[in-house]
A = this chain, B = another copy of it.
Amino acid sequence: MEFTRRDLIRVSAATAVLGTLSRVAEALDDPLPSWNNGAAKQAILTFVKDTTDKSSSKFVEPKDRIATFDQDGTLWTEHPLYTQAMFALDRLVKMAPQHPAWKETEPFKSVLSGDREAMAKFTEKDWVEIVGVTHSGMGTEEFQSLVLAWIGVAKAPRFVRPYTDLVYQPMLEVMKYLRQKEYRTYIVTGGGQEFVRVYSEQVYGVPPEQVVGSSIATTYVNTNGKPVLMREPKPFFIDDGPGKAIGINMFIGKRPYAAFGNSGGDTQMLQWTQAGDGARLMMLVHHDDGTREYAYGPAGGLPDTKVGTFSEALMAEANKSSWTVISMKNDWKRIFPFDK
């Protein structure tokens, strides 16, 4: 049989179709479609391949596949203020009529009068007081109901959307991809453990038992056979900085193979992760996209911030330790699920 021009056309057409199909298949195969090709995306793909391929010398047994994620600024927006701080302020305003003295007492007075300038200068102690009165005095289940009701209606400034809309699509893809590869994804947050557990499953696919966070003391009170865990105005565990390594050991008892953060409070989590043997993945989200989200941090010209501080020292440690810094501007095609 002779090869004719007609055959050539047929083959070309078939090749073109195959080419298109292969590009579609590639897109479907891409577990990280919201990531631009680059060092950050490649670091994730290489890490997953190295630790899940049985023939790799860096293979990790599924039972040991642990990945930890900071929440604020790593999985969702933390500016202008942490979501939980917004909850505390809203709740303070709602509680105010029952506490007339607050009108004359700082730090409550500034909150109730809406004095943003004063609020921007709140110290750690001011916040502890605000969290104390708004997060305690009720049972754990009542607290969860309060959070659930609030988060269903509250709107984030600037985007005027529910806070739970402001999650980072590229990070959701990383979490999902890791879970497909039999990693268990944990949230390790400086925020309140009981706060985050209310929505973690729905928003991130992370069940409550895989949320490690800060907590306040609870007391077991059993009246009439109806036991309640009463939340006390007293910090119990601060899951931040060195507390993140301590919390990981206490709650999980296994060293993570991958850890994702975005600020100084995540330093020890990344150090602790890296100190293990084999392949380890340490990543820091850098907020350098003021157009699509917020810009703050150590890169040239970005403003400093008290919320989610990424200092020059942290950037230096990242470079020295070969941690991968994710540029929101350059590495992420989309920021939020609602982005086109």
Interchain CA distance A225-B268 in the complex, whole Å: 11
Taking a contact as CB atoms under 8 Å apart, the answer to whether B220 and A251 are in contact is no
Residues of B within 8 A of A286 (CB): none
Q: Is A136 an interface residue (CB 8 A)?
A: no
**Copies per assembly:** 2
Name which residue of chain B comes closest to A246, CB basis: B218
A268 touches B218 (CB 8 A): no
| From B63, B218, B250, contact of A193 by CB (8 A) | B250
Whether the pair B193, A268 counts as a contact (CB closer than 8 A) is no
A4 at the interface (CB under 8 A from B): no
Task: Provide the bound-state CA to CA distance between A226 and B321, in Å.
Answer: 13
Asked if A107 lies at the interface with its beta carbon under 8 angstroms from chain B, I say no
Which 4 A/B pairs are nearest by Cβ-Cβ distance?
A220-B242, A208-B253, A209-B252, A197-B253
15 A-B pairs whose Cβ atoms sit less than 8 Å apart in the complex:
A63-B207, A193-B250, A208-B253, A209-B253, A211-B253, A218-B246, A218-B249, A218-B250, A219-B242, A222-B268, A227-B245, A229-B245, A229-B246, A229-B249, A251-B251
A254: CB under 8 A from chain B?
Answer: yes
Contacts of A309 in B (CB 8 A): none
The interface bits of chain A over 197-232 (1 if a CB of B lies within 8 angstroms of the residue's CB, else 0) are: 100000000011101000100111010011101000
Interface residues of A in 152-200 (CB under 8 A from B): 193-194, 197
Asked whether, in the complex, the Cβ of A209 is within 8 Å of the Cβ of B251, the reply is: yes
Q: Mark A31-43, 1 if CB is under 8 A from B, else 0.
A: 0000000000000
Residue of B nearest to A274 (CB): B225
Whether A271 sits at the interface, judged by CB under 8 Å, is: yes
Residues on the B chain within 8 Å of A222, using CB: 268, 271
Asked whether A16 is an interface residue with its Cβ less than 8 Å from the other chain, the reply is no
Interface string of A242-276 (1 = CB under 8 A from B): 10011001111110000000000000100110010
The 0/1 profile, CB within 8 Å of B marked 1, for residues 275-304 of chain A is 100000000000000000000000000000
Closest chain-B Cβ to A300's Cβ sits at a distance in Å of 28
Q: How far apart are A197's CB and chain B's nearest CB, in angstroms?
A: 5
The residue in chain B whose Cβ has the minimal distance to the Cβ of A211 is: B253
CB distance from A249 to the nearest CB of B (A): 5
**With A225-B271, A227-B268 given, is the CB distance from A250 to B215 under 8 Å?**
yes
Q: How many residues of A contact B (CB 8 A)?
A: 31
With a CB–CB cut-off of 8 A, which chain B residues contact A275? 225-227
Residues of B within 8 A of A245 (CB): 220, 227, 229
In this complex, the member of A220, A225, A245, A271 whose beta carbon has the largest number of chain B beta carbons within 10 angstroms is A220
Taking the closest CB of chain B, its distance from the CB of A141, in whole angstroms, is 9
Q: Which chain B residues border A207 with CB–CB below 8 Å?
A: 63
Best-buried of A194, A211, A226, A249 by chain B (most CB within 10 Å)? A249
Interface status of A140 (Cβ within 8 A of chain B): yes
A226 to B274, CA, bound (A): 9
Per-residue contact bits, chain A 48-74, to B (CB 8 Å; 1 contact, 0 not): 000000000000000100000000000
Q: Per a CB cutoff under 8 Å, which of B220, B254, B271 touches A227?
A: B271
User: Chain B residues near A253 (CB, 8 Å)?
Assistant: 193-194, 197, 208-209, 211
